[in-house]
Amino acid sequence: MVRLTAVLGDITEQHVDAIVNAANTAMRGGGGVDGAIHRAGGPGILRDCVERFPDGLATGDAGWTAAGELPARWVIHTVGPNWRAGQRERSLLESCYRRALEVADELGARTVAFPLISAGFYGWPLEDAIEAAVDTVLASEAGVEEAGIAARDDVVHGLVEAAIRARGVRADQRRRD
C-alpha cells in the first residue's frame, strides 16, 4: 500500500524520484503547475516532451520525461480533465492518478509528489479533486512506497490532511522542500 502524505510546499522543490505535472494535451508547457515545472526544470523538459509526445497526450493518460534541473529524477506528465470546458467525468481525473502511478512503477520510482490535478485553472471543484486524489492513490496497488500531495497554502494542505485522516490513514504534517 502506498503511504500517502499531505505536503506543504512547492512541487518543483520536492526531493522525490518523480514529480507529477498537470499538463495540457499539447505537452508543450503552459501555465500553473505545468509552467512552474517547465520554468524550474529548464528547456530540457520541453525538448523531451516534443521528442516523446509529438502528437501530445490524451486526457487521463500519462507519460514521462527527464526532470531537467529539478531535484526529482523524472517528471510524470498527466493531462487532467478541464471542468470549465465540460470535461466532468470523474473517471478521467482518477485515471490521471492511476496512470501516473503506473508510469512511476515502470520507471521504478519509489517516491512521487502530486499536485491537485485539474483543481487550478481547469476549475475542478477543490473538495472533489482532493477526494479523487486521495481515494485513487490509496486504492493503488503500485509499487510506489510514498506519495505526497503537494499544496502551496495552509488551507489546501489542511483539507488534504483531513481527507487522508478521514480514510483512517495518518496524515504526515511535515513540510518538504
Average pLDDT of the segment spanning 59-83: 98
> Which amino acids are annotated catalytic?
34
Comparing CA positions, the residue from 76, 72, 95, 101 lying closest to residue 1 is: 101
> What pLDDT is attached to residue 168?
86
Query: Per CATH, which fold does 15-142 belong to?
Result: Leucine Aminopeptidase, subunit E; domain 1 (3.40.220)
Would you say residue 46 has pLDDT above 90? yes
> What pLDDT is attached to residue 175?
42
Q: pLDDT tens-digit profile of 96-119?
A: 999 999 999 999 999 999 999 999
Comparing CA positions, the residue from 149, 51, 54, 52 lying closest to residue 100 is: 149
Would you say residue 174 has pLDDT above 60? no
pTM: 0.94
Q: pLDDT tens-digit profile of 16-27?
A: 999 999 999 999
> What pLDDT is attached to residue 176?
44
